[in-house]
Amino acid sequence: MPDVPLQAPADAPPPSARTRVRRLAENARYDAATVRRIVDAAWIGHVAFTDDEGGVHCIPTACWRVGGHIHVHGSNGSRMLKALQSGREAALTITHVDGLVLARSAFNTSMNYRSVTVYGRFEVVAPPAKEAVLAALLEHLAPGRQAQVRAGNAQELAATTVLRLSLDEAAAKERSGPPIDDPEDLAWPVWAGVLPLRLAPAAPRPDPHCDPAAAADPPPHVRRWSGDAAG
Amino acid sequence: MPDVPLQAPADAPPPSARTRVRRLAENARYDAATVRRIVDAAWIGHVAFTDDEGGVHCIPTACWRVGGHIHVHGSNGSRMLKALQSGREAALTITHVDGLVLARSAFNTSMNYRSVTVYGRFEVVAPPAKEAVLAALLEHLAPGRQAQVRAGNAQELAATTVLRLSLDEAAAKERSGPPIDDPEDLAWPVWAGVLPLRLAPAAPRPDPHCDPAAAADPPPHVRRWSGDAAG
């Protein structure tokens, strides 16, 4: 099969009316490369959905991408996972806060961020794809760890529901860079700029019950984390 | 007036049926002190709401607490702010990701986090409270800066909508500490523990257009950020 490019061009139009960003539309992007870059940098997203009584919920949950879908998982008994199998529309949003943008005026004070909102209906991921998709979650969290841990058994796998949402209907929105002040404010005598924020690693904490040999020989994903925390 | 304690006790029951946490209910808390601690540490939240056609949305937005309410704001023309004034129920969730929890089994792999979900109907904050609440946002982002920037003028204030949501119906959920493995997995020969994460400050970036005198003499909220970034 030829290598079909998955990415829409960087100036791709919104895939649907509801994904079209209205506020600060100049910060919006709809191309797959931008969407995937933001999604792949995330550990969690927030899922908005309605329940059988029409109540609306907003629940944080681990999420990860495999191909053109974003995935969530949990216990079969989860209220969220049951509602997401109702066939009703839902939305999943990922947001990274990158900094506080201190302008010279209160009004132009802002934040830097990267976000993606995905609209659609979740669908169940059944075996055998289910196991592969769960392995991809562990690979996302800790590359290489899948081969080192006690793998899920039949009972654990059966107790877990995995759902996926197509990234076809996704919108990205980003702000970066310095404040944008009104021209007449530029001479205002106050420090202006960005206070950057980053979800940063800190030194790994071995479980107190960790086998001493295992604690003394952390796997690459833990050593890399230590390096990032130190650097 | 006597100093009425706002906090429900730490073992307070859920304030309503929809705030009662079902999954891992042992991680849930409903007391105001816990809710406020998590809310006050946040720069943004995610708001779930429905539109006039019944579509569901999940939008990230700056949020901040004043007293017993959490606030959001934006342009009068914002789709979200218009929908939140519809009288329909909404939900706002704040989440901090504190680390990846690497268990000895794939199934018990988890995350550490702190989250709060608030349910209810947003209401408009009108002048004169509106100005005070916007000043509280800037104070939350950059303590002391309100007195240093060009304050909002009548036109800017009129173009901005401020909404508030009572914290009366809020639920907190937290996980911290090491992995909880099944007893029979404790001898599994793999490193187990927590890879901590923290939304950390990095070195401030002055606006290239910053007045040299102002750039050379950053205010305390910028100097403090530098110190936190260095330390």
Q: What is the pLDDT of residue B25?
A: 81
Mean pLDDT within A95-100: 98
Rounded to two decimals, the ipTM of the complex is 0.94
Q: What is the pLDDT of residue A3?
A: 37
> Is A43 part of a structural domain of the chain?
yes
The pair of structure tokens assigned to B86 is 């519809």
> Is B79 part of a structural domain of the chain?
yes
Q: What is the pLDDT of residue B226?
A: 86
> Is A193 part of a structural domain of the chain?
yes
Pair (A182, A116) in one structural domain = yes
Q: Does pLDDT of B6 surpass 80? A: no
Q: Which of the residues B20, B38, B50, B58 would you substitute to probe the A interface, choosing the one with the greatest number of A C-beta atoms within 10 Å?
A: B58
Pair (B78, B99) in one structural domain = yes
Q: Does pLDDT of B64 surpass 90? A: yes
Pair (A59, A122) in one structural domain = yes
Pair (A100, A213) in one structural domain = no
Pair (A67, A134) in one structural domain = yes
The pair of structure tokens assigned to B220 is 């305390």
> Is B93 part of a structural domain of the chain?
yes
Pair (B127, B231) in one structural domain = no
* CATH number of the domain encompassing residue A96: 2.30.110.10
> Is B17 part of a structural domain of the chain?
no
Segment B144-185, tens digit of pLDDT: 999 999 999 999 999 999 999 999 999 999 999 999 999 999
Segment A137-177, tens digit of pLDDT: 999 999 999 999 999 999 999 999 999 999 999 999 999 99
Residue B173, SS3?
A: strand
User: Quick check: pTM over 0.90?
Assistant: yes
Answer with the residue of higher pLDDT: A92 or B216.
Answer: A92
From A90's Cα to the closest Cα of chain B, the distance in A is: 6
Pair (A137, A219) in one structural domain = no
Share of chain A above pLDDT 70, in %: 96
Structurally, chain A folds into a number of domains equal to: 2
Q: What is the pLDDT of residue A100?
A: 98
* Residue in chain B nearest A47 by alpha carbon: B58
Mean pLDDT within A23-34: 87
Residue contact A149–B103, C-beta within 8 A: yes
From B79's Cα to the closest Cα of chain A, the distance in A is: 8
> Is A17 part of a structural domain of the chain?
no
| Out of A55-59, A167-171, B13-17, B157-161, least confident range | B13-17
Q: Does pLDDT of A7 surpass 60? A: no
- Domain range for A186: 25-199
Q: Does pLDDT of A4 surpass 80? A: no
CB atoms near residue A75 (< 10 Å)? 14
Answer with the residue of higher pLDDT: B18 or A191.
Answer: A191
Chain B hits for A205, CB-CB cut-off 8 Å, are 178, 193-194, 196
Pair (A212, A165) in one structural domain = no
What ranges make up the beta strands (E) of B44-184?
44-50, 56-62, 64-66, 69-75, 90-102, 110-120, 123-124, 160-166, 170-175
Pair (A143, A124) in one structural domain = yes
What is the residue whose two structure tokens read 């039949």? A154
Phi, psi (5° rounding) for residue A135?
-65, -35
**Closest to B80 in 3D by CA, of A53, A87, A173:** A173
From B25's Cα to the closest Cα of chain A, the distance in A is: 12
